Structure 1
Amino acid sequence: MATASRSAFITGRALSRAAPTRARRTAGVVRAAKEGRQSLFVTVTVKEGKMDEYNELIQGHITNCFANDRCMYFDYGIPVDGDPNVVHLYEVYEDEAAYKEHKASAHLKDYVEKAEALTSSTTTMKLLTLAQYGSVNCNYAGECELSGEWD
């Protein structure tokens, strides 16, 4: 069962409130995120002529991750300079358990099976545990997580 989301990307509707123009400061020292966030960096090489198909596939996969996993952030981009067939993915999961749930998910298996026909075997992955003070997590609604709580 899909969970409700406030993301315009997932629902295709405008958000009920605009993102703030500037994050509010609640303290002099900002503790960016709860301990144990798992971040995954993936580099994918898409086969020549398959980028449109891959874009459609990865957009569906991102939607599934937000709807079914405890995925806090998922983005992808193509380098400005360099090979136009290389895609970088960046994912953040709540904790190690959330990442393991994602790895075991049916939608990840489905994505991997479909991506095999569109990508080369040069895919690389790097998993990191995010430093607690490394970044401030913000969602699409413009809410930012400070001290492990959504502002």
Structure 2
Amino acid sequence: MLGFGLVVRFTIKAGRMAEFDALVERTLTGIRAHEPGTLIYASHAVDGSPDVRVFYELYRDRDAFETHEQQPHTREFLDQRSEFVESFEVTFLEAVDVKSTAWGAQ
């Protein structure tokens, strides 16, 4: 398996983007410190859609994702996101092929 990934698209409530981004920053601090199985956790702004954030997450495997879901910083994010998020959509991904220096594939 070439990792376990997902994409999440968040639409943020009007006037709450700064607070949402601060929550994401706190979450990423915990991820960096405690999750070696989380290979990529990226929050993206969307050109032309200032109320949207798109996350790309890549984990070593499904177990690393499950470990991520149980972390205190992740639980805090999940518990607080409804304060800032109007809606969200999750798409789970399974890699079929890859070019990545992280996997040693070219």
Bin of the TM-score, shorter chain as denominator length: 0.7 to 0.9
Partner residue in 2 for 1:146:
104
Of the three residues 119, 127, 140, the one matched with 2:85 is 119
User: Of the two structures, which has the highest relative contact order with CA contacts closer than 8 Å and spacing of 6 or more?
Assistant: 2
Cα displacement string for residues 9-52 of structure 1 (whole angstroms, at most 9, x for unaligned residues): xxxxxxxxxxxxxxxxxxxxxxxxxx240111001111101111
Q: Structure 2 CA distance, aligned partners of 1:92 and 1:146?
A: 15
Q: Structure 2 CA distance, aligned partners of 1:94 and 1:67?
A: 16
Name structure 2 gaps, 5 residues minimum. Answer: none
Q: Which has the higher helix share?
A: 2
Q: Structure 1 CA distance, aligned partners of 2:77 and 2:67?
A: 15
Contact 1:36–1:96 (8 Å) recurs in 2: no
Q: Structure 2 CA distance, aligned partners of 1:135 and 1:101?
A: 25
Partner residue in 2 for 1:48:
14
Q: Structure 1 CA distance, aligned partners of 2:63 and 2:2?
A: 10
Contact 1:64–1:107 (8 Å) recurs in 2: yes
Q: Structure 2 CA distance, aligned partners of 1:108 and 1:76?
A: 14
1:72 aligns with 2:1: no
Displacement, 1:104? 2.1
Larger Rg: 1
Contact 1:66–1:72 (8 Å) recurs in 2: no
Name structure 1 gaps, 5 residues minimum. Answer: 1-34, 138-143
Residue correspondence of structure 1 range 1-150 to structure 2 within 5 A = 35-69=1-35, 70-81=37-48, 83-120=49-86, 122-131=87-96, 133-137=97-101, 144-147=102-105
* TM-score normalised by the chain length of structure 1: 0.63
Displacement, 1:87? 0.5
Q: Structure 1 CA distance, aligned partners of 2:85 and 2:62?
A: 27
Q: 2:16 corresponds to which letter in structure 1?
A: K
Identity in percent: 19
Aligned residues: 104
Runs of 4+ aligned structure 1 residues displaced above 2 Å come to: none
